Chain A
Amino acid sequence: MADRADLLQGTLDLLILKSLALGPLHGWGVSKRLRQLSEDVLDVGQGSLYPALYRLEDRGLVTSEWGTSPEGRKAKFYRLTAAGRKQFAREQSQWRTFTGAVNLILAATQEPA
Chain B
Amino acid sequence: MSSLLDRIARRIRALRNPDALDRELAAEMHAHIDLESQELVRAQGLSPEEARRRATLAFGGVDRFTEAHRDERGVRWLSELWADVRYSARVLTSSPAFTISSVLVLALGIGASTAMFSAVDAVLLSHLPYHDDEQLVRIFEQDSPTNRWTMSDVDYQAIERDTHSFSAVGAARPGATSVSAGGDAERRPAAYITAGFLQALDVNVLAGRRLTLADEQPSAPAVTVITEQLATEKFGSPSAAVGRTVTIDGLAHQVVGVLPAAHASLANRQADVWPVMKRATPKRRGPFGLFVIGRLAPGVTMASARRELNDISVRIFPEWQSGFQDRAARLTPYGLRETIIGDASRPLSLFVGAVALVLLIAVSNVASLAIVRFMRRWRELSLRAVLGATRGRLVRLMITESVLLSVSAGVLGVALGWLGLRLLQGFVTGIPRLSEAHLDLRAISVALTVALLSGIAIGAVPALRLLTKGADGLRDGTRAIGDGKLTTRLRAAFVAAEFGLALPVLVAGALLLASVARLQRVNPGFDSRDVLTMTVGLPSATYSDNSSMARLFTRVSSELTQLPGVTSAAYSTAMPPDDQGNNNNNFNLVDQPVAPGAAQPTVTWPTVTPEFFGALGVPLLEGRMFDASDTLKGIPVVVVTRSWAKHYYPDRPAVGRELISGGCTACPHTVVIGVVGDMTFDRLGEPGEAVFSPLSQGWGQPLFLFVKGDDRDGSLARRVRDVVHSADAGAAMSTTISLDERIHSSVAAPRQLAIMLATFAGAALLMAAVGIFGLLSYAVALRKREIGVRMALGAQRSQVVGSMIGGGMRYAGIGTLVGLSLSVVASRWLSGSLFEVSAVDPATLGAVSAGLLGVALVASWIPAMRAAAIDPVDAMRPE
Query: Is B34 on the interface with A (CB-CB < 8 A)?
Result: yes
Answer whether residue A96 sits at the interface, using C-beta atoms and an 8 A cutoff. Answer: no
For residue B279, CB closer than 8 A to chain A, the reply is no
With A and B bound together, what is the CA distance between A69 and B36 in angstroms? 13
Query: A74 at interface (Cβ–Cβ under 8 A)?
Result: yes
Given the known inter-chain contacts A46-B60, A47-B68, A75-B31, please indicate yes or no for A60 contacting B7, CB distance below 8 A: yes
Contact B3 A60, beta carbon cutoff 8 Å: yes
| Pairwise interchain contact A73-B34, C-beta atoms closer than 8 A | yes
CB-nearest residue of chain B to A48: B68
Asked, given contacts A59-B3, A60-B6, A60-B7, whether A54 binds B69 with beta carbons under 8 Å apart, the answer is yes
Question: B35-47 CB contact bits vs A (8 Å, 1 = yes)?
Answer: 1101100000000
A residues 28-49 in Cβ contact with B at 8 Å: 28-29, 32, 45-47
Q: How many residues of B contact A (CB 8 A)?
A: 27
The answer to whether B7 and A54 have CB atoms under 8 Å apart is no
**Neighbouring B residues of A111 by C-beta, 8 Å:** none
Which residues B1-26 have CB closer than 8 A to chain A?
Answer: 3, 6-7, 10, 24-25
Say whether A90 faces chain B, with CB atoms less than 8 Å apart: no
Please indicate the chain A residues that have their CB under 8 angstroms from the CB of B72 in the complex: 51, 54-55, 58
- In the complex, which of the residues B6, B32, B39 contacts A46, with contact meaning CB atoms closer than 8 Å? B32
Judge whether A24 is part of the interface by a CB distance below 8 angstroms: no
With A47-B65, A51-B69, A51-B72 in contact, do A27 and B31 touch (Cβ < 8 Å)? yes
Q: State in angstroms the CA–CA spacing of A24 and B35 once bound together.
A: 16
**Are the CB atoms of B36 and A51 closer together than 8 Å?**
no
A58 touches B35 (CB 8 A): no
Could you say which of B6, B35, B59, B71 contacts A73, with CB atoms under 8 Å apart? B35
Closest residue of chain A to B5, judged by CB?
A: A60
Is B283 interfacial (CB 8 A cutoff)? no
Task: Kindly list chain A residues whose C-beta atoms are within 8 Å of the C-beta of B3.
Answer: 59-60, 83
| A46 near B31: Cβ-Cβ < 8 Å | no
User: Min CB distance, B144 to chain A, in Å?
Assistant: 80
User: CB distance B7 to A46 under 8 Å?
Assistant: no
A45 vs B58: C-alpha distance in the bound complex, in angstroms?
8
Smallest distance from the beta carbon of B132 to chain A beta carbons, Å? 57
Chain B residues lying within 8 Å of A54, measured Cβ to Cβ, are 69, 72-73
Q: Chain B's nearest CB lies how many Å from the CB of A32?
A: 7
Q: Is B722 an interface residue (CB 8 A)?
A: no
Tell me the bound Cα distance from A69 to B28 in angstroms.
Answer: 12
Q: A59-B3, A83-B3 are in contact. Are A28 and B69 (CB under 8 A)?
A: no
Nearest B residue to A43, CB-CB? B58
CA distance A59 to B59 in the complex (A): 25
Evaluate whether A73 and B65 lie within 8 angstroms (CB atoms) in the complex, with A54-B72, A58-B74 already known: no
A26 at the interface (CB under 8 A from B): yes
State the majority secondary structure of interface residues on A: helix
B64 within 8 A of A: yes
Q: What separation, in Å, do the CA atoms of A65 and B36 have in the docked complex?
A: 20
Bound form: Cα–Cα A32–B55 in Å = 13
Expressed in whole angstroms, the Cα–Cα distance for A75 and B7 within the complex equals 23
Chain B residues whose CB sits within 8 angstroms of the CB of A3 once the complex forms: none
Chain B residue, CB-CB nearest to A69: B35
Measured in the bound complex, the distance between the Cα atoms of B37 and A32 in whole Å is: 12
Instruction: Identify the closest chain A residue to B28 (Cβ).
Output: A76
Alpha-carbon gap, A38 to B464, bound state (A): 53
CA distance A69 to B65 in the complex (A): 23
Residues of chain B with a CB closer than 8 A to A46's CB = 29, 32, 58-60, 65
Q: Which of the residues A32, A50, A60, A71 comes within 8 Å of B65, measured between beta carbons?
A: A50
List CB contacts (< 8 Å) of A58-81 with chain B: 58-60, 69, 71, 73-76
* Interchain CB contact (< 8 A) of A47 among B27, B39, B60, B73: B60
Q: How far is the CA of A27 from the CA of B3 in the complex (A)?
A: 22
Task: Given the known inter-chain contacts A28-B36, A46-B60, A60-B6, please indicate yes or no for A76 contacting B31, CB distance below 8 A.
Answer: yes
B60 near A73 with CB under 8 A, answer no
Residues of B832-875 at the interface with A, using a CB-CB cut-off of 8 Å, are: none
Known: A46-B60, A54-B73, A58-B10. A26 touches B31 (CB 8 A): yes
Q: Determine the chain B residues whose CB is within 8 A of the CB of A47 once the complex forms.
A: 60, 64-65, 68
The distance in angstroms between the C-alpha atoms of A32 and B43, with both chains bound, is 13
A71 with B38: CB separation less than 8 A: yes
Nearest 3 pairs of A and B residues by beta carbon = A60-B3, A28-B35, A54-B72
Interface residues, chain B, CB within 8 Å of chain A?
A: 3, 6-7, 10, 24-25, 27-29, 31-32, 34-36, 38-39, 58-60, 64-65, 68-69, 71-74
Given contacts A58-B74, A73-B31, 7 further A-B contacts (CB under 8 A): A27-B28, A27-B31, A46-B29, A58-B7, A69-B31, A76-B24, A76-B27
A-B contact pairs, 12 of them (CB 8 A): A27-B28, A27-B31, A27-B32, A46-B29, A50-B25, A54-B69, A58-B7, A59-B3, A60-B6, A69-B35, A71-B35, A73-B31
